[in-house]
């Protein structure tokens, strides 16, 4: 087993405009030049296929606290529809891509989990597993947020810093003898 930890604090997030929405912060994050052979160690040569399991998502609390009223104001997302998201990952040769009903095609990403900002600041996942096959040694992994209406969430402020923890397991080849 190998562990992959992706932290948004390691990235530079820039303002962007998307689908007519203005002044929102980027909700697509890419970690570049990840060496699979270094990450996977001896599993890289031993296996052709791997399971990528999302284990934990950790979220910083960037809400604003009003000490006079003792209440918090959500900073990210204009509504609950913007705070309930799917976590879409791309950058590997996934077996089980996500089908897009709009384009009627498979996408190059998979939905690895759902997450609701500010409901929990740490969430454990047990069944968020996708399968990929070995490709190039170097890859760029992208995690993108999609809200419940399948648009990039809009916000006037940055989404909180996040940490995504994955475990990667090699899949043994099936016994070919009959």
Residues 174 and 45: beta-carbon distance below 8 Å: no
**pLDDT at res. 155:** 62
pLDDT digits (tens, 9 = 90+) for 58-73: 998 877 888 888 888 8
Which SS3 state, helix, strand or coil, does residue 9 take? helix
Residues of the chain with pLDDT under 70: 12-26, 150-158, 175-178
Q: Please give the domain boundaries of the chain with CATH numbers for all domains.
A: 2-171 (2.60.120)
**In 10 A of CB 43, how many CB atoms?**
18
| Residues paired with residue 138 on neighbouring β-strands, in sequence order | 35
Tokens of 139: 């890859």
């Amino acid at each position: 087993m190998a562990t992959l930890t992706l932290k948004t604090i390691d990235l530079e997030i820039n303002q962007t405009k998307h689908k007519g929405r203005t002044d929102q912060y980027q909700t697509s994050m890419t970690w570049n030049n990840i060496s699979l052979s270094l990450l996977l160690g001896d599993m890289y040569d031993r296996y052709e296929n791997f399971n990528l399991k999302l284990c934990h998502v950790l979220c910083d609390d960037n809400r604003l606290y009003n000490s006079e009223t003792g209440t918090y104001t959500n900073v990210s997302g204009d509504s609950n529809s913007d705070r309930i998201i799917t976590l879409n990952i791309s950058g590997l040769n996934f077996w089980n891509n996500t089908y897009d009903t709009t384009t009627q095609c498979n996408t190059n990403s998979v939905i690895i989990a759902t997450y609701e900002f500010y409901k929990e600041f740490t969430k454990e996942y047990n069944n968020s597993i996708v399968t990929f096959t070995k490709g190039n040694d170097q890859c760029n992994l992208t995690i993108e947020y999609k809200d419940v209406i399948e648009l990039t969430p809009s916000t006037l402020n940055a989404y909180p810093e996040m940490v995504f923890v994955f475990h990667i397991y090699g899949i043994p080849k099936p016994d070919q003898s009959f």
